[in-house]
Amino acid sequence: MKKMVGSVDELNFDCKKRSIGQNMQKFSSNMFNILLKFLHILPRSPLFSLRNLTHQQTLITLILLILAPVLAYAQLQTSLSNSVMQLTAVTKQKKDKTLHYRIQVAYPHIASSQYASSAQKFNTMIQEDIQKRIQAFSDQVTQRRAEQTTLPHMLANNYLIINYEADSIHPNNTFIVSVRFKTETYFSGMAHPTHVHSVINYNLNTGKTLTLKEIFLPHAKYLPIIATYCEKVLQKTLPKQAFFTAGVAPTIGNYDLWNLHADGLVITFDEYQVAPYAFGPQMVTIPYSELKGLLSPMLLS
């Protein structure tokens, strides 16, 4: 699994990129180049002399010297052929001095020759969603324009910031992209900004968005298991008086923010769902071992 984070901040609007297989490919390429240089230098070294070796040692040395670059090259070819898709971050920003707002967003983009149609569908869906959020924010700023005229100029500050985290897993050759967006919004005069998460879990093979129900076996009673685990974790991390137990009740609405990671099912609870604003959002990772016998064969590898 590869994980990437798309983030922006006020001073440095940066685009971070990471592709599946990219790290291994770079490692293999570097190793191959090092081995070639080693083979070029080794015969000239006074420390190396076939005359000082037995026939058996000489044979083993030659085999290793020949085999090493071949294996490195084979590894390089494997990493290239396994690169089914590439995840990159797209970033955008906009400022309006008249309405006193700034917009900074980052969202994922998929490139895949093998699943070109599904990748394009994903990209279009994400772009349309981001555009709707930007438009909704701009409309609200416009509606609040009269209110802002009563505030000191230095307090006229509105902003929308969208960042994300994206993971990719591929059990049983099913390529799933799991994205969690974090949207931070602030309008002039507010006591503090709001933070809201949203998720998308996308099956690249089928070109469809996954629902929580679909990752479990039919008729599986998964909600009580998830709720019980989350409650136990949050009881340890949150003060008793600050824990809103209703937020972990086994209802589908409490668990609509979920992501698939290599190490388990990640549940996100937004501010106010299980704790006051001051405690921030809460995340619980449920190991797949805790869901044994409930998961769909699609996720079993």
**C-alpha to C-alpha distance for 182 and 165, rounded to whole angstroms:** 8
Q: Do domains 1-20+85-210 and 216-301 have the same CATH topology?
A: no
Predicted confidence band of residue 19 (pLDDT cuts 50, 70, 90): very low
Q: What is the mean pLDDT of residues 183-187?
A: 95
Considering only CA atoms, which of 83, 81, 90, 85 is closest in space to residue 17? 90
Q: What is the mean pLDDT of residues 277-291?
A: 96
Of the candidate ranges 28-37, 222-231, 232-241, 290-299, the one whose mean pLDDT is the lowest? 28-37
Query: Does the structure show a pLDDT above 60 at 175?
Result: yes
Q: What is the mean pLDDT of residues 159-185?
A: 94
* Topology (CATH) of 216-301: Actin; Chain A, domain 4 (3.90.640)
Q: What is the mean pLDDT of residues 177-196?
A: 94
Give every CB contact of residue 260 below 8 A, 6+ residues apart in sequence. Answer: 167, 169, 176, 178, 201, 215, 266, 299
Query: Does the structure show a pLDDT above 80 at 279?
Result: yes
Our CA dihedral for 137, 139, 141, 146, rounded to 10 degrees, sits at -160
* Domain coordinates in residue numbering, the chain: 1-20+85-210, 22-81, 216-301
Of the candidate ranges 42-46, 157-161, 175-179, 261-265, the one whose mean pLDDT is the lowest? 42-46
Query: Does the structure show a pLDDT above 80 at 195?
Result: yes
- In whole angstroms, how far apart are CA 158 and each of 182, 186, 196? 17, 5, 16
* Topology (CATH) of 1-20+85-210: Heat Shock Protein 90 (3.30.565)
Q: What is the pLDDT of residues 105-139, one digit of tens each?
A: 999 999 999 999 999 999 999 999 999 999 999 99
**C-alpha to C-alpha distance for 128 and 121, rounded to whole angstroms:** 11
